[in-house]
């Protein structure tokens, strides 16, 4: 069967051609690239990619298929998907379907046969930008105009599109925790800005009872749930488009231990009175070198973010850096010196191979236990 032509247009006028390997249609979003060699299903279902069209730099995608386990949310969240070559075979004992079938099941516009190296180099040079991916409009001028007029992500609240509609207690499928065991668990409230499932799984596995609440939940409501700690999750878009979240985090500061991941760090930075800024092309991949300043240890971590905290802009709160990215020295972790609150910009739950960063979850657990002892001493 002959594949249908497809086109990708950037707001600066650059156009790339390829062949459709998903559904027919047209999508707009910020064009970004991810350097991971695997994990495409986790990327496709990561809520942090809402509003973005993802380009995979690794040339062959789809060779191990897809399954119902390797997902980070209930459904795909990317606006579109771009790759060099779609594998014609699926070879893995866990595979339940081919990636192309997955695209068609969930209505994803995807394009293969694209010079992804040229596209990635262009983004590295010019920066991530607005774009359109289409199989129905193949007029370059028309698509470039659509890209220019698309809303982009700066200033937008994309979290409202991915957060849960109402709160729920996270439970591991097939597991039943005895009431007496459940009562011994630490009570953690997760602010769902677009939380990944593996964050919830790890919190559960280290002995937490995990309550997930919508992003707009008020601090008073959270505190009424008597949490031992609050996790500020990852999520999509511009943190400065979420003033309601920043306001509630300020009300939580000092009253309960806080742990922020990715967008959660950026929102904490804003709650501290600081500012965030947009990175030129962001950090997206499973091979980011992160240095822990207290030990000098370097971790290979997974990341997905286009904004970062400007540490120098935090003037009123005693906040110190804990981690930096060795590629560009951006701040990858911050901690409050007075209150029990810390955060990281990367994804300790993503496990791109090394599991070194799992220790951040046990650090959060100890912080909650220590705070609980001091509170009820």
Listed by start position, the domains of the chain span 5-149, 159-376
Count of other CB atoms within 10 angstroms of residue 240: 17
Q: Write out the catalytic residue numbers.
A: 262, 347, 349
Tokens standing for 232? 């500020």
CA atoms within 13 A on the CB side of 325: 23
Burial class (CB in 10 A: 0-12, 13-18, 19+), 161: middle
Per-residue pLDDT of the chain (377 residues; tens, 9 = 90+): 678 999 999 999 999 999 999 999 999 999 999 999 999 999 999 999 999 999 999 999 999 999 999 999 999 999 999 999 999 999 999 999 999 999 999 999 999 999 999 999 999 999 999 999 999 999 999 999 999 999 999 999 999 999 999 999 999 865 555 454 566 899 999 999 999 999 999 999 999 999 999 999 999 999 999 999 999 999 999 999 999 999 999 999 999 999 999 999 999 999 999 999 999 999 999 989 999 999 999 999 999 999 999 999 999 999 999 999 999 999 999 999 999 999 999 999 977 666 778 889 999 999 999 999 887 65
Strands, E, within the chain: which ranges?
A: 5-10, 15-20, 26-34, 52-56, 60-61, 80-82, 85-86, 110-112, 129-134, 168-169, 186-192, 208-214, 229-232, 258-261, 275-292, 298-310, 319-325, 331-336, 341-344
CATH architecture of 5-149: 3-Layer(bba) Sandwich (3.50)
Architecture of domain 159-376: 3-Layer(aba) Sandwich (3.40)
The pTM for the full model equals 0.95
Asked if 5-149 and 159-376 have one fold, the answer is no
The DSSP letter of residue 74 is: S
């Amino acid at each position: 069967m002959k594949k249908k032509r497809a086109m990708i247009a950037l707001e600066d006028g650059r156009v790339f051609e390829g062949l459709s390997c998903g559904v027919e249609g047209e999508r707009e979003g910020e064009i970004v690239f991810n350097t991971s060699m695997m994990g495409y299903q986790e990327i496709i279902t990561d809520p942090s990619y809402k509003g973005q069209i993802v380009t995979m730099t690794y040339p062959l995608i789809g060779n191990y298929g897809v399954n119902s386990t390797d997902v980070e949310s209930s459904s795909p969240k990317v606006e579109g998907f771009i790759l060099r070559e779609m594998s014609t075979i699926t070879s893995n004992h866990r595979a339940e379907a081919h990636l192309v079938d997955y695209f068609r099941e969930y209505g994803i516009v995807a394009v293969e046969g694209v010079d992804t190296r040229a596209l990635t180099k262009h983004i590295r040079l010019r920066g991530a930008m607005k774009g359109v991916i289409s199989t129905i409009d193949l007029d370059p001028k028309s698509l470039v105009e659509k890209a220019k007029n698309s809303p982009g992500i700066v200033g937008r609240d994309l979290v409202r599109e991915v957060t849960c509609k109402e709160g729920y207690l996270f439970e591991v499928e097939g597991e039943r925790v005895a009431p007496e065991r459940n009562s011994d668990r630490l009570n953690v409230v997760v602010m769902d800005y677009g939380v990944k499932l593996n964050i919830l799984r790890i919190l559960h596995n280290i002995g937490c009872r995990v309550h997930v609440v919508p992003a707009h939940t008020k601090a008073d409501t959270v505190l009424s749930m008597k949490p031992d700690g609050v996790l500020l999750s990852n999520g999509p878009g511009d943190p400065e488009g979420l003033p309601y979240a920043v306001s509630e985090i300020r009300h939580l500061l000092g009253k309960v231990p806080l742990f922020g991941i990715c967008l959660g760090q950026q929102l904490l930075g804003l709650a501290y009175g600081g500012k965030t800024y947009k990175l030129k092309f962001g950090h997206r991949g499973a091979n980011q070198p992160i240095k822990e300043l207290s030990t000098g240890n370097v971790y290979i971590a997974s990341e997905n973010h286009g904004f970062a905290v400007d540490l120098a802009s935090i003037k009123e709160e005693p906040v110190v850096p804990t981690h930096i990215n060795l590629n560009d020295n951006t701040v990858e972790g911050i901690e409050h010196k007075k209150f029990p609150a810390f955060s990281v910009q990367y994804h300790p739950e993503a496990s791109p191979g090394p599991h070194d960063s799992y220790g951040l979850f046990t650090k959060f657990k100890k912080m909650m236990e220590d705070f609980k002892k001091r509170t009820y001493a």
